Amino acid sequence: MTLSSLFDIICQRRDQATPEKSYTARLISQGEDEILKKIGEEAIEVILAAKAQGNQRLIEEVADLTYHVLVLLSARQLTPQDIESELGRRVR
């Protein structure tokens, strides 16, 4: 799965799924503070995994963090392309 296809799924669930049937829809419906809380939790888990839990656990936690960051972007009507544009601007 690519980040782009994952983001498309997140947006689809944001727009079409019910909170009772979709974790993504439920998280977005709970509001930005809840999304930010999850991002904070996942960021801490990334650090812990990097320090002592091995590469596979690190991959899993970075995947969780990435998903939650994409949910935040979707909730804000932003896209991964906005991030890519900013990174491109910084390289120049």
Position 30 in a domain? yes
Position 90 in a domain? no
Backbone angles phi, psi at 22, to 5 degrees: -140, 125
Position 76 in a domain? yes
The CATH number of residue 53's host domain is 1.10.287.1080
Position 74 in a domain? yes
Q: Could you read off the pLDDT of 31-78 as tens digits, one per residue?
A: 999 999 999 999 999 999 999 999 999 999 999 999 999 999 999 999
Position 8 in a domain? yes
The full length of the chain comes to: 92
Give pTM, 2 decimals: 0.94
Tally of structural domains, the chain: 1
Contact 4, 11 (CB under 8 A): no
Backbone angles phi, psi at 14, to 5 degrees: -60, -40
Closest CA to 76 of 2, 19, 14: 14
44: containing domain: 3-85
Position 25 in a domain? yes
Position 56 in a domain? yes
